[in-house]
Amino acid sequence: MAINDTKITIPCTETSPDTDLDSDSSMSQRAQWLRAAILGANDGLVSTASLMMGVGAVKSDSKAMLLSGFAGLIAGACSMAIGEFVSVSSQLDAELAQLKRDQRADEADRAGLPSPIQAAVASALAFATGAMVPLLAAGFIVNYKIRVVAVAVAATMALLFFGCLGAALGRAPVVRAAARVVAGGWAAMGLTFGLMKLFGTAGL
C-alpha cells in the first residue's frame, strides 16, 4: 500500500517582531511631531490672541490691534524657529558625538538623526498657523466690541479643537484635557486684557 508523503506547506503570514518594533517607532515619532505641532499652534494662538486683546483694551483702533497681532506672529514664529534650531542642533551634536564614540557613523545611522532646519521650519509654521486664527477673526470687523468678542470666540473654538486633538494623540481624557487648554487660554487673554485696561485707565 502506497503511503502519501506529500506535505502541505502553509506560508507564514506573521509579522516579525522587528517589523512591529519599526512600525511602532515610526508611529510614535509621527505622534510626537504632531503633538509638537499642536503645542506650537496653541502657543501662537494664545500669545497672539492675548496680545491683540491687550492692545484692544487700550485702543479701539482696528489697525493697531491687527498690527500688534501681525507683529506678534512674526516675532513669535522667528523666536520659535530660532529656539528649535538651537535646541535640535545641540541634540544633533550630542548624537553625532555618541555615534563617533561608538564607531557607528554610517548612512543608516545618520538618516535617523534630527534635522535642525526641518524642526525650525515646522515650529515656525505651527506657531504661525495658530496665530492666524485671531488675526483672521478680527481682520474684517470694524466695530470695536464685536471685534474683541470675535477674537475671544475664535480663540476659544481653536483652543477647544487643539485640546481635543492633543488629548486624542496623547490618549488622555479628552474632556479634561480640552477644558484645561481652554481655561489656560482664557486666563492668559483675560489677564492681559485686564492688566492693560488697568494701565490704560491709570494713564500709565
pLDDT, residue 26, reads: 56
User: DSSP letters along 19-71, please?
Assistant: HHHHHHHHHHHHHHHHHHHHHHHHHHHHHHHHHHHHHHHH---HHHHHHHHHH
CA distance 63 to 18: 58
- The pTM score is 0.79
Q: What is the pLDDT of residues 45-102, one digit of tens each?
A: 999 999 999 999 998 888 999 999 999 999 999 999 999 999 999 998 988 888 888 7
**5-17 tens-digit pLDDT:** 444 343 444 445 4
Give the model confidence (pLDDT) of 79-90 as tens digits: 999 999 999 999
**Per-residue model confidence (pLDDT) at position 171:** 82
Closest CA to 133 of 174, 79, 72: 72
